[in-house]
Amino acid sequence: MKRNLPLFFAFFCGILVIVSEFIPHRPFSMLIDTLQNWFMIISGFAIILGQISLFQSNLSKIKQKESGWIFYLAGLLSFCLMLIVGLLWGTQETGGIFGHGLKLQASLGAKPFDYLFDFAYMPLSATMFSLLAFFIASAAYRAFIIRSFESNLLMITAVIVILGRTSFGGMLTAWVPESYKFWQLPNLSDFIMEFPNSAAQRAIMISAALGIIGSSLRIILGIERSYLGSDK
């Protein structure tokens, strides 16, 4: 029962969604509307579930003093801090348990949650992503080596696209006459993105879509059951 009931629901809902695409009339349209509402509600609860799971898994790692437990502790403390200030004084236009915390807003310039978001989370998050530039530069120096015809081709394409995406690239080939403007670096770069890139991307998209159809059918028909968790 514990396994068969979810399998039945998956089969019933999956078939219903497929049928409604072909017959968008009552009663299917009504049932699909209901399913959509349920999905949105369940997704909302999934966020709470995710937070509980995050809390529990971090807590157990700290208790067992796993390697790097101090980082889990920092993560957990940050999570609790944001949660508490968000619950007490709210965020943006939404008030919290203590209202909008006007006194705090006057001293900080924003609600505590928004203050932490703007001056702690946002710079940290942007910094983490920006670090990629340093790794790309280092990787480009060490790994982008011409070894074969294919790597040569990749290199030439990369150079054109990189230069074409800079202000400098346009200036470098600005002298090319209007009748040969295709050879200007930004136009060459656009050509590569629009044709060879699009063709390859479309092939990937179609293959991925076929893969998704296949795996969705496997779930609907109950062949793929890993989403149900272990048998224990």
Partner 1 sequence: MSVVNSSQTERRIVFLILLVAVALPLIFPIGWKTGVTNYTKMVWELVESTPDSSVVIFSFDYDPSTMTELQPMAEAMLDHAFSRHQKVLVTALWPQGMQMADQAIKVVKAYHPDITYGQDYVFMGYKVAGIVAIQAMGKDMEQVFPADQSGTKYKDIPMLREVKTLKDVAYVNSLSSGTPGIKEWVMAARDVYHTPVTGGTTAVSAPGLIPYVNSQKQLYGLLGGLKAASEYETLINRVGSATVKMDAQSVAHLLILLFIAAGNIKALRARKRRAS
For residue 89, the minimal CB distance to partner 1 (Å) is: 15
Q: Which stretch binds partner 1 (CB under 8 A): 4-12, 62-70, 120-128, 215-223?
A: 120-128
Chain residues 148-207 in contact with partner 1, contact rule CB under 8 A: 155, 158-159, 162-163, 165-168, 170-171, 186, 190, 193-194, 197-198, 201-202, 205
Q: Is 128 in the site for partner 1 (CB under 8 A)?
A: yes
Q: Does 225 bind partner 1 (CB under 8 A)?
A: no
Number of chain residues interacting with partner 1 (CB under 8 A): 56
Shortest CB 131 distance to partner 1, Å: 10
Nearer to partner 1, 87 or 140 (CB): 140
HEC profile of 66-106: CCCHHHHHHHHHHHHHHHHHHHHHCECCECECCECCHHHHH
Q: Binding segment for partner 1 among 8-16, 60-68, 134-142, 217-225 (CB under 8 A)?
A: 134-142
Which residues have C-beta within 8 Å of that of residue 162, sequence separation ≥ 6? 169
Beta bridge partners, 94, equal 91
Q: Is 49 in the site for partner 1 (CB under 8 A)?
A: no
Q: How far apart are the first and last CA of the chain?
A: 14
The smaller minimum CB distance to partner 1, of residues 62 and 91, is found at: 91
Q: Do residues 113 and 89 lie in contact, with contact meaning Cβ atoms separated by under 8 Å?
A: yes
CA dist list (Å): 46 to 12, 41, 77, 93, 226: 22, 9, 22, 24, 18
What is the closest distance, in whole angstroms, from the C-beta atom of residue 137 to partner 1 in the complex?
Answer: 5
Query: Which two tokens mark 108?
Result: 């900080």
CB within 8 Å of 181: residues ≥ 6 apart: 187
Q: Over the range 99-127, which residues count as b (16 or more CB within 10 Å of their CB) and which as e?
A: eebeebeeeeebbbbbbbbeeeeeeeeee
Shorter beta-carbon distance to partner 1: residue 60 or 94? 94
Near partner 1 by CB under 8 A: residue from 1, 5, 97, 145:
145
- Residues in the site for partner 1, rule: CB under 8 A? 33, 36-37, 39-40, 43-44, 46-47, 91-94, 114, 117-118, 121-123, 125-126, 128-130, 133-134, 136-138, 140-146, 155, 158-159, 162-163, 165-168, 170-171, 186, 190, 193-194, 197-198, 201-202, 205
